[in-house]
Amino acid sequence: MKNLKKRLKQGETLNGCWLNLGSSLTAEIVGQSGFDWVLIDLEHGAGSEKDVLYQLQALEHTTAGAIVRVESSESQRIHRVLDMGAEGIMCPKVHNPEEARKVVHGLHYPPHGGRGVAKMVRATGFAQNFPQYYAEAQETILGVVQIETVEVLNHLDEVAAIDGVDVLFIGPADLSMELGIFGQFDHPRFKEALRETVNAAQKAGKATGILFFNPDDYKRYHDLGIRMIACGADATFVADGARSLAKKLDAFRAVEKTISQS
């Protein structure tokens, strides 16, 4: 475990990014790049649960803690990736406190939740470390719920107060879409939703997170009090690098063509 939950509780800012290619190789490359955490995306990413296992193995000896975004709050989806060794779970589009409690129920063993007990899994060292894992799970497994709907904005204080909800993570694209202002991140209503989320989290002693793709936005969100910050994804890193290099090569080719014709 990379102590993500403890570090957020202490007020540290943690920098991360998305992994949506389903590749263990890009996971390893990104994990070795200096990020505090990465998000393996099962909601929109290209990979399956089997790919998650390989990505977790690739990340094991890097500095990056591994969080997995599951498709829903169904306990079975949560159990499986935790047993594989995920350090935390992100659940998309949590609408209300009932759904948030369902997420937490799947995160933790009884008496704190309803997670099924399986010793012969990767998370416990295949039964070698189960007593330690069980004893520490409550304090190490990170519970992240995404703030992406209009409904949840009416329940922010209730959701933030739930024990086991550690981070209120804003999904800008979905939230702005739900608000009818898609992509308008400078819109007063979107900014208000950000402030409301941060305030609710801070009152409950919890953290707030957000994903963005322009590094220049870092200070803007950090100044609001957001401490779990994600910027970019492995797919964008590959695409941006490839396009940038192709553009440079095209420019060189154009120059050489001009010289040869002169």
Among candidate residues 93, 91, 68, the one with its CA nearest the CA of residue 80: 68
pLDDT, one tens digit per residue, over 213-223 is 999 999 999 99
What average pLDDT does the structure give for the chain? Answer: 96
What does the pLDDT read at residue 257?
Answer: 86
Catalytic residue among 44, 105, 108, 222: 44
Domains of the chain: 4-261 (3.20.20.60)
What does the pLDDT read at residue 260?
Answer: 85
The beta strands (E) that lie in 29-112 are given as: 37-41, 65-69, 88-91
The beta strands (E) that lie in the chain are given as: 14-19, 37-41, 65-69, 88-91, 142-147, 167-170, 207-212, 228-233
Q: Are strands 14-19 and 142-147 parallel, antiparallel or unpaired?
A: unpaired
pLDDT class of 1 with cuts at 50, 70, 90: confident
Is the link from the previous residue into 111 a cis peptide, with omega within 30 of 0?
yes
What does the pLDDT read at residue 261?
Answer: 85
Residue 148 has pLDDT above 80, yes or no: yes
pLDDT class of 124 with cuts at 50, 70, 90: very high
What does the pLDDT read at residue 190?
Answer: 98
- Based on the residue annotation, tell me whether 155 is a catalytic residue of this protein: no
What does the pLDDT read at residue 256?
Answer: 87
| Identity of residue 106 | G
pLDDT class of 262 with cuts at 50, 70, 90: confident
